[in-house]
Amino acid sequence: MLFAIVEGGGARPALPRPAGGASCPVRSRTCPPSWRQMSRSCCGSFRWARVVNVALRSPRDVTSAVRGYVAPVARLAAVVVLWQALVQLRLVSDLVLPSPDQIIVQVWKGRQNYLLDARTTLGEAGLGFLVGNGLAIAVAILFVRVRFAERALMPLAVASYCLPAIAIAPILQVVLPGDEPKVVLAGLFVFFTTLTTVVTGLRSVDPVVVDMVRAFGGSSSVELRKVRARNALPYLVRALQLAAPSALLGAII
């Protein structure tokens, strides 16, 4: 059922289309006088708000939407119940796999320490996220502007990505003081992904657009700001989405 929502008037039945008249009963002169009088409330001197026809959702759509939310919750609840049953029946030792209620009780007892530790870890991950991504964006711009820099520094970037975190974490712990090793690890975890993604975005521009900018006298900096940077924005957003959990993982390690 369709309704016309008018400002200050609530929901009113929508006016049917006149048979044999024009497609717009409000502005057409061929409409009957009764239609013109009825339409004055919408387009006349009263200046009503925009009229929107809203179709009520069918019960089938509502059922499918509810099912989409209920099914994942039901699966999660089934896993938790099975987990609890395995521990209660002694099929799995609680030393190997504690039951959900034991985990909840332990988390509640140490909630103050957990909150403090979580705040510290998130701060380290956030700082590494900012430093790593900022450095990656700067190096990506350098690679696009100076090809020699890419040939010289890209092997080092690949090597930093291939280094195992477990191997370099003790070295960083000895060399750097305080929480700086975790910040460096978080930055290393996000650096290479953001670097390669932003370089791809800066270079995947339409050559016709680049030639047009150069034909109108645009410099390389104008080309970078107006064309390449705008083209790289979707790539950068995707890189930041991938880098967020990587930074948290680096801070935890």
pLDDT at 134 over 80: yes
- Hunting for tokens 């006149």 — which residue is that? 18
- Residue-wise pLDDT for 170-212, tens only, equals 888 888 888 888 999 999 999 999 999 999 999 888 888 888 8
- Tell me if the pTM is above 0.75: no
> d(Cα 119, Cα 125) in Å, to the nearest integer?
10
> d(Cα 191, Cα 153) in Å, to the nearest integer?
13
138 and 158 belong to one structural domain: yes
Please tell me the predicted confidence (pLDDT) of residue 7: 41
51 and 65 belong to one structural domain: no
> d(Cα 193, Cα 208) in Å, to the nearest integer?
28
47 and 72 belong to one structural domain: no
Which amino acid would we find at residue 211? D
Please tell me the predicted confidence (pLDDT) of residue 72: 84
How many C-beta neighbours within 10 Å does residue 17 have? 11
> d(Cα 81, Cα 99) in Å, to the nearest integer?
10
Tokens of 189: 């975890």
> d(Cα 124, Cα 210) in Å, to the nearest integer?
40
Please tell me the predicted confidence (pLDDT) of residue 179: 83
Residue predicted with more confidence, 84 or 55: 84
Residue among 203, 173, 200, 202 nearest 185 (CA): 173
216 within domain boundaries: yes
69 and 50 belong to one structural domain: no
pLDDT at 113 over 70: yes
* Residue 242 near residue 193 (C-beta atoms within 8 A): yes
189 and 86 belong to one structural domain: no
* Residue 179 near residue 120 (C-beta atoms within 8 A): yes
What percent of the chain shows pLDDT beyond 90? 24
> What is the band of 18 on the pLDDT scale with cuts at 50, 70, 90?
very low
> What is the band of 46 on the pLDDT scale with cuts at 50, 70, 90?
very low
25 and 136 belong to one structural domain: no
* Residue 27 near residue 43 (C-beta atoms within 8 A): yes
Please tell me the predicted confidence (pLDDT) of residue 13: 47
* Residue 181 near residue 250 (C-beta atoms within 8 A): no
Mean pLDDT calculated for residue range 236-248: 92
208 within domain boundaries: yes
160 and 46 belong to one structural domain: no
Domain span holding position 71 = 61-98
Domain count, the chain: 3
Please tell me the predicted confidence (pLDDT) of residue 89: 87
Tokens of 185: 């690890």
> What is the band of 58 on the pLDDT scale with cuts at 50, 70, 90?
low
> What is the band of 166 on the pLDDT scale with cuts at 50, 70, 90?
confident
222 and 159 belong to one structural domain: yes
